[in-house]
Amino acid sequence: MSESAANAISDVGALLRPASIAVVGASANPDSPGHDYVRCLVEFGFSGPVYPVHRRESEILGLTAYADLDAIPGDIEFVISCIPSGGVLELLDSCARKGVRTVQLFTGRFSETGREEDAELEREVLRRAQAANLRLLGPNCMGLHDPGWGISFRPDLPRRTGPVGFLSQSGNNTTEVLIHSDVRGIGYRAAVSYGNALDLDAADLLTFMAGDGETRAIGAYIEGVRAGRRFLDALGGAARSKPVIVFKGGRTGAGARSAVSHTSALAGSNEVWQGALRQTGAIEVHSQDELIDLFVAFTLLGEAPSGDRVGAVGGGGGRAVQAADACTEEGLEVPPLSEDIRSQIRERAPDLWDWIGNPVDQSILAGSGAGVSGAAVLEMMAESPDFDLLIANVGEDWVLGRPDSGRRLMHIVERFAEIGVRCRKPVAYVIGPADSPDEARWRAVEGARTLLIDAGLAVFPTVERAAWALGRYVRWHRSHA
Amino acid sequence: MSESAANAISDVGALLRPASIAVVGASANPDSPGHDYVRCLVEFGFSGPVYPVHRRESEILGLTAYADLDAIPGDIEFVISCIPSGGVLELLDSCARKGVRTVQLFTGRFSETGREEDAELEREVLRRAQAANLRLLGPNCMGLHDPGWGISFRPDLPRRTGPVGFLSQSGNNTTEVLIHSDVRGIGYRAAVSYGNALDLDAADLLTFMAGDGETRAIGAYIEGVRAGRRFLDALGGAARSKPVIVFKGGRTGAGARSAVSHTSALAGSNEVWQGALRQTGAIEVHSQDELIDLFVAFTLLGEAPSGDRVGAVGGGGGRAVQAADACTEEGLEVPPLSEDIRSQIRERAPDLWDWIGNPVDQSILAGSGAGVSGAAVLEMMAESPDFDLLIANVGEDWVLGRPDSGRRLMHIVERFAEIGVRCRKPVAYVIGPADSPDEARWRAVEGARTLLIDAGLAVFPTVERAAWALGRYVRWHRSHA
């Protein structure tokens, strides 16, 4: 790595982990972003000084408030702006006087409105910031979510830390991805909503996350980039070292038109993007669900798989067929049970050993009264040299129709979890979404899933989504071996 | 329709709606299918006589039990068998003596075990049934779920009736589809798990459902068929008159191998299946989620759309871009707002009318304080001749971060629902799965979704799944106009 590249990395990293923060446009009104930003710093436990700035208030959320930046006694590294766009130029001047390093502009209504005066103001903001050596995040962004550093933009966002880095031009998408991936056990090193990308852009954030030792997988929701070559270099550099998952917005004419009024992004030709993603080895996804499924695969399945041979257990015969079809169509192998496993089953279940295949149809075992369970076969597969990846279908819909179902479900999940925690092979667990209006059902499924999540295991809502993610996980590791 | 075809339809319909039922192998043990079948008839409110048959018990679940069929005083139209396979031939003989019309064989371990003696027993079962003029459902099946007729196979299955017919070779899949589609508001005219299809098969069930006036959409999970030409005729006939959605199991080598040990089905060449589905106009899906999404589209979106132009509101700017991309990629049009709607917005929101597009970015409206809401624009689109289909993004993740979020969320959903109920255009609502371990969040999302479901509206968990389903819905109507 060149010296300047190394400097760039540590610079962006330092910018995003400031020692002191002022919130300009802080508010006592709990229904305002100026309140949320201050409250997050308090509730997420930011360890440095926090300075709310408000013209009249003397205290906000128990913190001393200041009339302006100049009135603040200490140094300020990072400023969050929630004031209207008309006040931003003046704010930048006072930031320059205080030696601020970075300004995060929640403030919007710049070029994204499509009006020339707003676009001109945005250009002037950039000129003023560059002249004063200030870096900008945004404008028109929610900004940083870094629970490990005590920063977020909404008090209800998950506190979970972890190895994922996420950059997104959309604040709402960032929120949605954070909330729905938390349910799957995904924690964040940093999530950065960066809006119009006037200064700090996708290239800067990708380079920072690529160089960050604690980030193991990177996701990006991108609507457009200005400096194409710089972006491609950054994307290529990042994708060489870790999985980079790109959700490109504005792939179509109508999507590109929407992107302009969202972040003033020029979406660019979809063909060019496709080529760039292929060339750099980034993985493209087309929905938040796919993005989250790959965060799960690349951070919770463990190290590189030894191959592509899948062993699957659990669920009924239909699920076994579905698992086999889905895995095969995703380019994985679903071999028959090996002789070694067949002879182990024969000893314990002489009545049905010859009927059981891979995937294992749980209903054959359930009906037998024989001494072999789905978990027992999963364990055989975990220990066998003939399988590289495992799928454990919890099959909760069957269990929940039986008496004493809650206890039975937890027993199955505990046994499955033990095997996954001990095993060095990637294991994908399948348990459906707990989205039932029936409280007992919600509690049972949520409890079982939480047990798996808390054990650090990779959980998918359907076997097709598990197979889809396993396929991409195997191919990525094959091309990065 | 020929006379013989009409007879076949009414025959199968009559077979599946019997006036009296005996459960052979009925059990007082609540952890057994022989218990579940009897309990379902009681709890689902089957109106005819129910006769549990058990060698020793004199009463099961409050009903008089009989030692065998001969001991039953009244007529028996339908027999559910839960006894081991070894007793089935004798059972068929006593069914013949009693004038039974149909025997549903939950009993399994026939040809699906792969053993010649089991396959030979299965063949003998068919010969014996045919000689006695008995029709068979199964073997190796869960059988009928017809809540309107008071029949089911598991006491915890949903009671909701409705216009969907579903036939499935897998009992577990039937259970899973019933449970997860109930959450989406899908009710059933009949769901039939038909296992090995020894006698009554996919062709019979498709023909029955095609001819049934109350069935508006048909789904089928099929692993294989024996009489290809007969099946194709039935599929073609059904698909001409109503949407037929086929989830084919055993599309791959490993899937076909699993299908053999599940239902002894010969999966057949996937190319031949693809061709047949294309030729008949049936719609192919590859997961239960896709199947359920199309049940929602074809039974809850209403009548044929007037075209393919989508108007979308709700959610932030990222959601707007996602909606535009997903709809366009599914072959739908996402036109700009019409002049008429733009001038209506201009009157109410002079500050931002020129910035708002289609899809409508809710965050522009939320920040404005102007007198135009997402619901107001949805209403304009509902009344405009320039849009054929609507998407209403609830955007619950944004709302749930605000104070008083529960009330706000219900307000949005109530306004959206009013428009959808009044409007003659298809409206797809998007609200994410309520699968959070946080009880308050679960309750809020579940409550909002239930309001939409109870209003009979079409709800999808993501905008991409809504767009996918809308695309197939539009194309089906176009080819059946």
The torsion of the CA quartet A310, B283, B217, B413, rounded to 10 degrees, works out to: 80
Determine the pLDDT at residue A352.
85
A321: left (phi over 0), alpha (psi -120 to 50) or beta: alpha
**In which residue ranges of chain B is CATH 3.40.50.720 found?**
3-137
In this structure, whether the domain defined by A3-137 belongs to CATH 3.40.50.720 is answered with yes
Determine the pLDDT at residue B224.
95
Q: State pLDDT tens for residues A81-121.
A: 999 999 999 999 999 999 999 999 999 999 999 999 999 99
What part of A 81-110 touches B (C-beta under 8 Å)? Answer: 108-109
Q: State pLDDT tens for residues B237-271.
A: 999 999 999 999 999 999 999 999 999 888 888 99
pLDDT of B17 higher than 90: yes
Flag whether the ipTM exceeds 0.90. yes
pLDDT of A1 higher than 50: no
Q: Residue B461: how many CB atoms within 10 A of its CB?
A: 22
Between CA A136 and CA B90 the distance in angstroms is: 83
Determine the pLDDT at residue A393.
98
Among all residues of chain B, which has the CA nearest to that of A314?
Answer: B172
pLDDT of B8 higher than 50: no
A143: left (phi over 0), alpha (psi -120 to 50) or beta: left
Q: State pLDDT tens for residues B280-290.
A: 999 999 999 99
pLDDT of A455 higher than 70: yes
pLDDT of A466 higher than 90: yes
Q: State pLDDT tens for residues A364-411.
A: 887 656 689 999 999 999 999 999 999 999 999 999 999 999 999 999
List Cβ neighbours of B157 (8 Å cut-off, separation of 6 or more). A401, B40, B145, B147, B175, B178, B179
Between CA B393 and CA B463 the distance in angstroms is: 7
End-to-end Cα distance, chain B: 21
Which pTM value belongs to this model? 0.96
Determine the pLDDT at residue B151.
98
Determine the pLDDT at residue A365.
86
Peptide bond into B139 cis (omega under 30): yes
> A436 at the B interface (CB within 8 A)?
yes
Q: State pLDDT tens for residues A125-179.
A: 999 999 999 999 999 999 999 999 999 999 999 999 999 999 999 999 999 999 9
pLDDT of A414 higher than 90: yes
Between CA A465 and CA A453 the distance in angstroms is: 17
Between CA B253 and CA B249 the distance in angstroms is: 11
**In which residue ranges of chain B is CATH 3.40.50.261 found?**
143-299, 302-479
Least confident of A179-183, A412-416, A432-436: A432-436
Q: State pLDDT tens for residues B56-91.
A: 999 999 999 999 999 999 999 999 999 999 999 999
Least confident of A37-51, A313-327, A369-383: A369-383
End-to-end Cα distance, chain A: 21
| Highest CATH level, class, for A143-299 | alpha beta
Determine the pLDDT at residue A6.
42
pLDDT of B3 higher than 70: no
Query: pLDDT-based confidence at A303, cuts 50/70/90?
Result: confident
| For chain A, counts of helices (H) and of strands (E) | 18, 17
The answer to whether the Cβ–Cβ distance between B287 and A263 falls below 8 Å is no
The answer to whether the Cβ–Cβ distance between B318 and A173 falls below 8 Å is yes
Specify whether the CB–CB gap between A438 and A406 falls below 8 A: no
Determine the pLDDT at residue A3.
42
pLDDT of B5 higher than 60: no
Q: Which residues of chain B lie closer than 8 angstroms to A287, CB-CB? A: 322, 326, 462, 464
Q: State pLDDT tens for residues A59-72.
A: 999 999 999 999 99
Q: What is the mean pLDDT of chain B?
A: 95
Q: Of A316, A348, A332, A346, nearest to B258 (Cα)?
A: A316
What part of A 388-417 touches B (C-beta under 8 Å)? Answer: 395, 397-398, 400-403
Q: Which residues of chain B lie closer than 8 angstroms to A138, CB-CB? A: none
Specify whether the CB–CB gap between A430 and A466 falls below 8 A: yes
Amino acid at A268: G
> B6 at the A interface (CB within 8 A)?
no
Size (chain A), residues: 481
Determine the pLDDT at residue A4.
44
Q: State pLDDT tens for residues A468-480.
A: 999 999 999 999 9
- Output the CATH code of domain B302-479: 3.40.50.261
The answer to whether the Cβ–Cβ distance between B327 and A401 falls below 8 Å is no
Instruction: Kindly state the tokens that stand for B422.
Output: 């009044």
Determine the pLDDT at residue A368.
54
Q: State pLDDT tens for residues B307-321.
A: 999 999 999 999 999
Task: Report the residue from B257, B357, B397 with minimal CB separation from A261.
Answer: B357
pLDDT of B413 higher than 60: yes
Among all residues of chain B, which has the CA nearest to that of A320?
Answer: B258
* Nearest chain A Cα distance for residue B5, angstroms: 31
What part of A 445-464 touches B (C-beta under 8 Å)? Answer: 445-446, 449-450, 461-462, 464
Q: Which residues of chain B lie closer than 8 angstroms to A172, CB-CB? A: 315-319, 363, 395, 397-398
Q: State pLDDT tens for residues A181-213.
A: 999 999 999 999 999 999 999 999 999 999 999
> A156 at the B interface (CB within 8 A)?
yes
The answer to whether the Cβ–Cβ distance between A462 and B289 falls below 8 Å is yes
Q: State pLDDT tens for residues B146-197.
A: 999 999 999 999 999 999 999 999 999 999 999 999 999 999 999 999 999 9
The answer to whether the Cβ–Cβ distance between B316 and A172 falls below 8 Å is yes
Query: pLDDT-based confidence at A266, cuts 50/70/90?
Result: confident
Determine the pLDDT at residue B368.
54
The answer to whether the Cβ–Cβ distance between A254 and B334 falls below 8 Å is yes
Among all residues of chain A, which has the CA nearest to that of B314?
Answer: A172
